[in-house]
Structure 1
Amino acid sequence: MKKTVVINVVGLTKRLIGEYTPFIKSFLEKGKASYITPVLPSVTCAVQSTYVTGKWPSEHGVVGNGWYIKDDCEIKFWKQSNNLVQQPKIWDDLKEKYPNFTCANHFWWYNMYSNVDYSITPRPNYLADGRKIPDIYTYPAKLRDDMQEALGTFPLFEFWGPKTTINSSKWIADAAVLTDKKHNPDLTLIYLPHLDYNLQRYGLDFDIISKDLLEIDEVVKQLVTHYEALDTRVILISEYGITNVNRPIHLNRVLRKEGYIAIREERGLELLDAGASDAFAVADHQIAHVYCKNSKDIDKLVKQIKQIEGVEKVLFGEELVKHKIEHERCGDIVVVADKDSWFTYYFWLDDAKAPDYARMVDIHKKPGYDPVEMLTDPKDKLVMAKVVGKLLKKKLGFRTVMDIIPIDANLIKGSHGRLNENLDDYPLLISNYNDGIGKEAIDAVEVREIIENHLLN
């Protein structure tokens, strides 16, 4: 078996490789590459699950970063159990065929309770007083102490939120190298999220993102240099391409005005009551799942949604089958934005009645994905002073709410999730093993087989 590493450089596309990524550019020129035809939805959890299973979302069941759980009548995002992926993963089958095969997974999603030998994933401590303390979950459990003793506490607040930096990707890369030096796994998966941040904040503005490209290029160089010195087959891969957007679509507000959505009021603030709603949308970047209580409403809803500016496709019935997304977790309708648009989860009509979590980083309470969590209000010149004051209160033992996130979706300039038309915006697979890739473009379900070929041929 040939030692292989798969480095997931989030958001990497042909458009981004050049002046500001000299190492990646050189790696591409010396190796072999394929465009990856995007999977729908082109979002983190769905794409990663497709890569590691070789199956479509209709088969593995990961229809987005979150979905409506019908038994609980609750919308849940960013769950972590590997059991949510309903097909065997590459490491499951290889372990069955080759009992000595070993695998390490560093921060690819659904990384808890999987069958890999070494895993690290973010898992904060959620304290009874409301505090969130950075931490990780690992297997074996001792790996958690070893890593944080060697590298310091995982920089959770630089991994997501308004304070993201290259440090989180550096920490993940350093952890992967330490795992490799100590355990030498046959297959290693590594997730480097850095480009995800400013590409969503600012879009394809190279005056801003050039710094991010240079930073991630250095981290990739560090990793590839380490692995190539060990005669490792190296794959650089990405999940999706981020493109410019300028129009947020508030789909739940439209459904509310049409009378479909039920609202619960608490302390003068509004909450989406999904279980009591006739229809609601679970927004996830440029796609949204619309769940309908009564199937008789579907045709009417389809007609209404098609009228919304920025909506490109409204999929239901056989169209869901055609796009390989039909599954019990899938919405009755899947709405796809056009290239300039993306979907918010916003359901309130008056910002004064927005739920308290709307102005916070709270990925588990929000009934949809919220990229605005990466920003603070640019109009609030005192925001950093407020943050310092709130942190001081926390250190003194007072309960406080970090309500510093704006609720202005127009601040977001980049998104993904739909099927991009331009090859320059497709995800990529680049390898230093020239016999490992045979086509200019591959389907997302072919990635697993390519990884296996790197290991076994």
Structure 2
Amino acid sequence: MRKTVVLDIVALSSRVVGEHTPFLKSWIEGKKKAIIEPVLPAVTCSAQSVYLTGKYPSEHGIVGNGWYFYDECEIKFWRQSNRLVRSPKIWDHLKAENPEFTCANLFWWYNMYSSVDYAVTPRPLYPADGRKLPDCHSQPMELRDRLQKELGQFPLFSFWGPNTNISATRWIADAAKKVDEWYNPTLNLIYLPHLDYGLQRHGIDFEKIGKDLQEIDQVAEDLITYFEKQGAEVLLLSEYGITNVNQPIHINRILRSAGWIQVKDELGLETLDAGTSQAFAVADHQVAHIHVQNEAIFEQVKSLLRNTPGIEKVLDKNDQVEFGLDHKRSGDLVVVADKNSWFTYYFWMDDAKAPDYASCVDIHRKPGYDPVELFLDPKIKVPLLKVGSKVLKKKLGFRYLMDVIPLDAGLVKGAHGRIPEEDIDKPFIVGKKELISHQKIEAGDVYDLIYHTVKA
């Protein structure tokens, strides 16, 4: 089997490869590139699961970055157990053919408790005093300690949130080289998220994202150079491209105004009670899953959504078949935004009653994806002073609330999730010319390309 590296540079599209990415531009020109027709929804968890199983959400069950767990009547995002993915993975296939095959997975999602040989993934510590501390999880368990001894603590707060920067992506890249040095796996899967964040903040504005592009270009050059020196075959790919948006759709507020959302008063603030709501939305970038728990209002919900500005498609269960999205975890309706719009999870009508987690980086409690977590609240007059005082409380062991995130969805300028009209905004895969024979492939074909690269 051939030593292979799959380098996932999130949000890389043909539109952003150019003057700010000189290494990638040159490297790609010497290879063969194929546009990937993205899966719907074009989001991290769904796209990665298609690439690693060769199946679509209707089979592997990953209908988004999160979904409504019917048995618990709760919306949960960013779960981590690989057992949620209901289809065999590429490493299972390859290991069955050759017991000497090994695989390392560096930060691709659903990376806990899988059958992969070596895994590293973000996993904070949550002491009983309410703090959240940076850390990661690994397989084997001692790999976590070895990596953090060599590279320092995984910089969790640079991985996501308003302090996001290149250091987390650089840590992942350095960890990938260490894992390769120590274990020499046959297949390395490496996730580099840095570009995703600036593009969601600013959209396609090269004056603002040029630095991000230069930084990811440098990390890619370092990794590709390292692995090619080891004789590895490098496949470069992305999961989706990000496009400009200017209209947030507060879809749960629309459903609430119709009388279908149930909220609970908690100390004067509101939380969404999904189990008793007649209809609610699980918002995930430019796609939202609508669960209608009162059949009598189904047609009313459908009609309301079809007439909502910014919504381009309303897919019932029959329509979802066309997109490979017909799974029990999918909503009774799946709505897709138009190219200028995206969906918030906001369900409160008055910001004074927003739940306490709304103004925090709290990806597991929010009943939907929240890109506004990438911003510090511009209303804070001296942000360093406010953040610093909260960090001091944390260091002293006091309970604290890092409520520094704004509630202004209009700050977000880039999004993804729908299938873009232009190929220049779609993901792509790059490899040797003899391995990639088409100019465009389906998302499910990525699995075969990885498989045949390893087997070649």
TM-score range, shorter chain: over 0.9
Report the equivalent of 1:384: 384
Report the equivalent of 2:161: 161
Tell me how far 1:294 sits from its aligned partner. Answer: 2.3
Q: Return the letter of the residue paired with 1:391.
A: V
Tell me how far 1:378 sits from its aligned partner. Answer: 1.9
Mapping for residues 113-192 of structure 1, pairs under 5 Å: 113-192=113-192
Secondary structure of the residue aligned to 1:314 is strand
Tell me how far 1:127 sits from its aligned partner. Answer: 1.2
**In 2, Cα distance between equivalents of 1:341 and 1:259:** 24
Secondary structure of the residue aligned to 2:363 is coil
Mapping for residues 338-377 of structure 1, pairs under 5 Å: 338-377=338-377
Tell me how far 1:189 sits from its aligned partner. Answer: 0.2
**In 1, Cα distance between equivalents of 2:360 and 2:346:** 14
Secondary structure of the residue aligned to 1:125 is coil
Q: Return the letter of the residue paired with 2:443.
A: A
**In 1, Cα distance between equivalents of 2:30 and 2:383:** 47
Q: Return the letter of the residue paired with 2:9.
A: V
**In 1, Cα distance between equivalents of 2:317 and 2:168:** 41
**In 1, Cα distance between equivalents of 2:17 and 2:182:** 33
Tell me how far 1:317 sits from its aligned partner. Answer: 2.5
**In 2, Cα distance between equivalents of 1:96 and 1:303:** 50
**In 1, Cα distance between equivalents of 2:255 and 2:384:** 36
Tell me how far 1:392 sits from its aligned partner. Answer: 1.0
Tell me how far 1:300 sits from its aligned partner. Answer: 1.4
Secondary structure of the residue aligned to 2:434 is helix
Contact 2:4 2:232 in 1 (8 A): yes
**In 2, Cα distance between equivalents of 1:58 and 1:155:** 35
Matched, 1:240 2:240: yes
Matched, 1:296 2:296: yes
Secondary structure of the residue aligned to 1:126 is coil
**In 2, Cα distance between equivalents of 1:440 and 1:329:** 33
Contact 1:290 1:332 in 2 (8 A): yes
Report the equivalent of 2:425: 425
Q: Return the letter of the residue paired with 2:34.
A: S
Mapping for residues 202-221 of structure 1, pairs under 5 Å: 202-221=202-221
Q: Return the letter of the residue paired with 2:197.
A: Y
Contact 1:298 1:333 in 2 (8 A): no
What are the Cα deviations for residues 222-263 of structure 1, in whole angstroms up to 9, with x where unaligned?
A: 000001011111011100000000000000000001011001
Mapping for residues 23-172 of structure 1, pairs under 5 Å: 23-172=23-172
Report the equivalent of 2:256: 256
**In 2, Cα distance between equivalents of 1:382 and 1:226:** 43
TM-score by structure 2 length? 0.99
Identity among equivalent pairs (%): 58
Q: Return the letter of the residue paired with 1:14.
A: S
Report the equivalent of 1:316: 316
Report the equivalent of 1:444: 443
Q: Return the letter of the residue paired with 1:397.
A: G
Q: How many residues align?
A: 456
Matched, 1:7 2:11: no
Q: Any gaps of 5 or more consecutive residues in structure 1?
A: none
Contact 2:129 2:397 in 1 (8 A): no
RMSD, matched Cα = 0.7
Q: Any gaps of 5 or more consecutive residues in structure 2?
A: none
**In 1, Cα distance between equivalents of 2:396 and 2:124:** 21
What are the Cα deviations for residues 342-396 of structure 1, in whole angstroms up to 9, with x where unaligned?
A: 0000000000000000000000000000000010112322222100111112212
Contact 1:94 1:101 in 2 (8 A): yes
What are the Cα deviations for residues 95-137 of structure 1, in whole angstroms up to 9, with x where unaligned?
A: 1111110000000000001111100000000111110010010
**In 2, Cα distance between equivalents of 1:170 and 1:308:** 42
TM-score by structure 1 length? 0.99
Tell me how far 1:443 sits from its aligned partner. Answer: 0.2
**In 1, Cα distance between equivalents of 2:160 and 2:185:** 28
Report the equivalent of 1:265: 265
